[in-house]
């Protein structure tokens, strides 16, 4: 039985107010789903992980997973706001009491948005240790210079978390040491050393590139200790992977339901196409794979909530769920024949949206490399 039945039903009801026509119109204009994100915020869904003492609901990660799964299952796109759930964990776990008191209640109330985080750079890609953006301490400020890419939702967020190099890399130094996390208030920074440029992508994802030119950030906005930022970002990655996996399970369920319905109602050669094994088997296979991925998501959640560090399970959940959703997307488009490519069925839009999760926030290859090295004990391949 699925957990959080009431939350799931409430999210499904909210999502019913944002049908395919809403998403198609946004998709055409590459516009941000402001009304949808506002509705989720007002419903308190984006602050479920914030402790009650700071105005949130203090629920565990599995509640956030249930919410995001339902969003995707309803045909909506949580990519517009999912980062608020896992980015906020860095502030929660590593921020000072003063930072938490300043930002968390405002985020919980929906007055502040923490939707953007910046790790990826154009030249370093997955190799985070070689990122080049610097934050140089000058008195009571850091001065930030460099460039980030794929900073999603930057135009629709008030705050962003930045990973930058505060200590130059020297011989013998661990490549991931000397990186720090800064919380940037973009309202003050825009036009004062921070420039954001949107990137048009195959799906509507509100992603951007961000340029820093002597941006001054108050030193009090450093999260945790200087030089330990990579560890702080890493500690949030399990949550991020598990939540993205839950979204992919939701996507897979949407594709399977859609394919099932169409296969039952579309008649060719005098009978429903779903009566043909060639049509029904790919849908059945997608269902089996979705269920297996769902079990791995649950395993990762159980371990995470038990206080373990489920790097392997979070990675496997993300990989298996992303594969399951893309396989279900493929079966769904095939089941729809030509209509799978028509905008009004929403299948092609969801197909484009779920394709992302083979690459972001971590690509399948890097997950396989992690499992090879850390679980199977094979030599490090990179
Ligand atoms: C729409 C979108 C939104 C995003 N949002 C954000 C965001 O909000 N914040 C953020 O920081 N980042 C974000 N990202 C970045 C995303 O996390 C990266 O694109 C992803 O981690 C891959 O990095 P890369 O694009 O630099 O690829 P690269 O690192 O250049 O890799 C390219 C390809 O080579 C493969 N590869 C690289 N090295 C190896 C190796 N050693 N072994 C085997 N294969 C390898 C990879 O698997 C990949 O398929 C987003 C990306 C996209 C497309």
Q: At residue 58, does pLDDT exceed 60?
A: yes
- With DSSP H G I counted as helix, E B as strand and the rest as coil, what are the percentages for the chain, rounded to 5? 55, 15, 25
88 pLDDT tier (thresholds 50, 70, 90): confident
pLDDT of 248-279, one tens digit each?
Answer: 999 999 999 999 999 999 999 999 999 999 99
pLDDT value, residue 86: 87
Å from CA of 127 to ligand 1 middle: 9
Residues with CB under 6 A from ligand 1: 117-120, 125-126, 150-152, 201, 205, 207, 356, 359-363, 365-366, 369, 382
For the residues 159-171, what does the mean pLDDT come to?
A: 95
Query: ω into residue 361 within 30 of 0, thus cis?
Result: yes
pLDDT of 6-24, one tens digit each?
Answer: 999 999 999 999 999 999 9
The sign of the CA dihedral 358, 35, 154, 43 is negative
Residue with CA closest to ligand 1 atom 48: 363
Lowest mean pLDDT among 57-61, 232-236, 270-274, 350-354: 232-236
pLDDT of 107-156, one tens digit each?
Answer: 999 999 999 999 999 999 999 999 999 999 999 999 999 999 999 999 99
Of 54, 146, 155, which is closest to residue 101 (Cα–Cα)?
54
Average pLDDT of the chain is 96
Euclidean distance between CA atoms 306 and 238, whole angstroms:
13
Q: At residue 2, does pLDDT exceed 80?
A: no
Å from CA of 360 to ligand 1 middle: 6
């Amino acid at each position: 039985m699925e957990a959080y039945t009431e939350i799931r039903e409430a999210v499904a009801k909210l999502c019913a107010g944002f049908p395919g026509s809403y998403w198609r119109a946004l998709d055409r204009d590459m516009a941000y789903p402001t009304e949808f994100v506002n509705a989720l915020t007002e419903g308190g869904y984006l602050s479920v992980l914030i402790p009650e003492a700071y105005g949130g609901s203090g629920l565990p990660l599995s509640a956030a997973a249930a919410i995001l799964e339902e969003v995707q299952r309803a045909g909506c796109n949580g990519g517009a706001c999912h980062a608020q759930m896992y980015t906020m964990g860095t502030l929660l776990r590593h921020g000072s009491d003063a930072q938490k008191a300043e930002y968390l209640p405002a985020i919980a109330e929906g007055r502040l948005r923490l939707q953007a985080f910046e790790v990826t750079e154009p030249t370093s890609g997955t190799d985070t240790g070689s990122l080049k953006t610097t934050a140089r301490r000058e008195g009571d400020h850091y001065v930030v210079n460099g460039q980030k890419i794929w900073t999603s939702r930057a135009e629709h967020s008030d705050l962003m978390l930045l990973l930058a190099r505060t200590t130059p890399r020297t011989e013998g130094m661990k490549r991931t040491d000397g990186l720090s996390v800064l919380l940037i208030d973009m309202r003050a920074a825009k036009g004062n050393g921070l420039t954001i440029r949107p990137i048009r992508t195959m799906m509507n994802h509100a992603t951007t590139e961000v340029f820093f030119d002597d941006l001054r950030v108050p030193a009090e906005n450093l999260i945790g200790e200087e030089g330990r930022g990579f560890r702080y970002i890493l500690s949030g990655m399990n949550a991020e992977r598990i939540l993205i996996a839950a979204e992919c399970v939701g996507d897979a369920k949407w594709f399977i339901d859609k394919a099932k319905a169409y296969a039952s109602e579309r008649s060719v050669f005098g009978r429903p196409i779903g009566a043909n094994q060639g049509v029904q088997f790919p849908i059945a296979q997608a269902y089996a794979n979705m269920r297996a991925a769902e079990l791995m998501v649950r395993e990762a959640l159980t371990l995470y909530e038990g206080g373990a560090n489920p790097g392997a399970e979070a990675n496997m959940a993300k990989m298996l769920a992303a594969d399951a959703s893309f396989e279900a997307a493929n079966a769904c488009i095939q089941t729809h024949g030509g209509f799978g490519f028509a905008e009004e069925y929403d299948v092609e839009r969801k197909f484009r949206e779920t394709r992302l999760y083979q690459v972001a926030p971590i690509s399948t290859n890097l997950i396989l490399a992690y499992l090879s090295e850390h679980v199977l004990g094979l030599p490090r391949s990179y």
